[in-house]
Amino acid sequence: MWFPRPAAPSDILIVGGAADGLESGLFALMADPKAEEWPDRVGVVGGVDGSAKHTTRLLESSNWVIKTDLAHVAPDPGQLRARSESLVEMAGKTDLWHPKKVWFLMRVADGWLPASACPRLRTLRDVTEWSEKITRWTRMIEMGLETTGKFGIHLDLNPSNFGFEEKGSSRLYYLDDEYYQPHGLVDFGEAVVARIPEEPQASEDEWSVWGGQLQQVLNRFCSGVDDFMKFMDGIRGYPQVEEFRGRRTALLEGFSQGHPLLDPVERKRRREAEAGKVARIGPRTTMVFSDAHANLPALEAVLKAASDLKVDDYLFLGDAVGYGPHPREVIDRITALPGLVAIKGNHDHAIATGEMEDGANRIAVACAEWSHAELDAAHREWLGGLPLEYRVDPVIAVHGAPVDPQRFYGYVYELTYKVNLEHLEGQGLSLCWYGHTHVPFIHRKRREGECEKLTPSPMKLMEPDQVVLVNPGSVGLPRDGDPRASFAIYDWDSGVVTFHRVSYPIHLTIAAVNKAGLPDDLVYRLEVGR
């Protein structure tokens, strides 16, 4: 059975939510032979209704939608309760979710899963008429801004995650069971421009109209021209193919038109662009790094090198902890980075939960047990709350491999890189950042061509005829025979990725390993880069 179901009503534990007696009927809903599973709405991307996560499971029964995620299975319901309770608590503070939504835990064959049940709503993907569509999109962006401002959390601003009860109703509800660390105005701009590839039939004039609506909303949340420009930088800096750039320009023009501060600035920028001048706007260089593995001296060295190169923001591909002797310090250093996007690695998951994956080697197990004990609840909560992927089409970032439903167990290597490249191509993606192997590498597939392996040298990404997997190597525990810390820089202006290695005071890390009583094998690995 694709959607896992409990064997009896006693296998359901209600965590919270108002449900008009639904608590006693949840089992009946899932056991109903007329209940419909929705596998075609899982693993979908672009302008399609559903969830991008392959581990999501959806079931519709008697006009209720029940949702769970196989990635969160646990042997004990106590390990899941805190996450569900945090959702219930946030629901009590806000009016984001439908008032009849209920959160619960259910025992299935493989353990316990968190789940939710909500009345079936129409999502924003169901709206076809342009004026209604952009009005509801505008409200979606407004809800996101309000929630970030009032409660310090960020919503996944995707039309699939927002619904309404009936045609003509202006009330929107948030459908997702995830919320995230607060984002900035640049991120809201990116959420806006990401709609363009999903609506290729919309004209430049129609995008300009939406820009005008957004200006009216942003007036409430921007305290000055700098705030407005951050939002516009998010629109302008988002990677987009040539055929959509006219629509993006129209969106920007509609947003700035008539504004006493923005209109002159936007017109000046267009004149400079037409004259061939390059205006530096928004995030333009990103440091991409992975597998810090609690090695603070190595992390400080790469961050210093990136600062010297004047990077604007940071993409961390997971495994902040594991193996190394500085788990708390490394987490604190990473979380303090400006413009950070971070995703979860397999060691992050194991140390957050206290459970190692099957087949983990003795060194990894010993270090994970020590690290779990070293961290406090807040550090473990941050690790456990990291997302499995970061995706802004046509780019995705994972720790392990994009074909792996859990994203942090699978490896990209000799036997798997072709299927991963083909998976990206099938998903309409151009670029995947990944880590996990601790080896800097590039794999590429030309459209309608062969897959190839490339050494980590400067290369232009986001080309229309290629799909690329890029690994920046490991900061804290390289495995390519070079013990120096590794990272990459992506320049959004040129589209070029460059790879960098820096030495660090490895003797400080070795001394800390010995002081912590971690396995001696780690010292050898650090010294030889294996």
pLDDT tens digits, 417-438: 888 888 888 888 889 999 999 9
3-state secondary structure 411-473: CCCCCCHHHHHHHHHHCCCCEEECCCCCCCEEEEEECCCCEEEECCCCEECCCCCEEEEEECC
In the predicted structure, residue 364 carries a pLDDT above the cut 60:
yes
pLDDT at 475: 96
Pick from 175, 208, 188, 196: nearest CA to 142: 188
Triad 530, 315, 282: Cα angle to 5° = 145
Pick from 96, 192, 87, 97: nearest CA to 150: 96
Helix (H), strand (E) at residue 313: strand 313-316
Supply the mean pLDDT for the chain.
87
Predicted confidence band at 465 (pLDDT cuts at 50, 70, 90)? confident
In the predicted structure, residue 363 carries a pLDDT above the cut 50:
yes
More confident residue, 320 or 71: 320
What are the φ and ψ backbone dihedral angles of 495, each rounded to 5 degrees?
A: 75, 15
- Residues pairing with 486 in the sheet: 501
In the predicted structure, residue 163 carries a pLDDT above the cut 90:
yes
Write down the residue that tokens 């007036």 correspond to.
219
**pTM exceeds 0.75, yes or no:** no
Q: Which two tokens stand for residue 191?
A: 């959420």
Q: Which two tokens stand for residue 492?
A: 């959004």
Asked whether the CA dihedral 379, 384, 386, 388 is positive or negative, the reply is: positive
pLDDT at 114: 95
How far, rounded to the nearest angstrom, does the alpha carbon of residue 312 sit from its chain's CA centroid? Answer: 18
CA-to-CA distance for 176 and 344, rounded, in angstroms?
A: 19
pLDDT at 18: 64
Condensed to tens digits (0 to 9), the pLDDT of residues 470-502 reads 999 999 999 888 899 999 999 988 889 999 999
Which phi-psi region, left, alpha or beta, contains residue 137 (left: φ > 0; alpha: ψ -120 to 50)?
Answer: alpha
In the predicted structure, residue 281 carries a pLDDT above the cut 50:
no
Q: What is the mean pLDDT of residues 254-279?
A: 65
Q: Is residue 512 within 8 Å of residue 496, measured between CB atoms?
A: no
The one-letter amino acid code at 275 reads: A
pLDDT at 59: 96
Helix (H), strand (E) at residue 112: strand 111-119
In the predicted structure, residue 358 carries a pLDDT above the cut 70:
no
Triad 183, 185, 187: Cα angle to 5° = 60
Predicted confidence band at 280 (pLDDT cuts at 50, 70, 90)? very low
Helix (H), strand (E) at residue 46: none
Condensed to tens digits (0 to 9), the pLDDT of residues 8-49 reads 999 999 998 765 556 678 999 999 999 999 988 887 666 678
Triad 68, 71, 73: Cα angle to 5° = 75
Could you tell me the strand order of the sheet in which 340-342 lies?
340-342, 313-316, 285-289, 485-491, 496-502, 459-460
Q: Is residue 434 within 8 Å of residue 317, measured between CB atoms?
A: yes
pLDDT at 278: 38
Which phi-psi region, left, alpha or beta, contains residue 20 (left: φ > 0; alpha: ψ -120 to 50)?
Answer: left
How far, rounded to the nearest angstrom, does the alpha carbon of residue 238 sit from its chain's CA centroid? Answer: 15
pLDDT at 503: 95
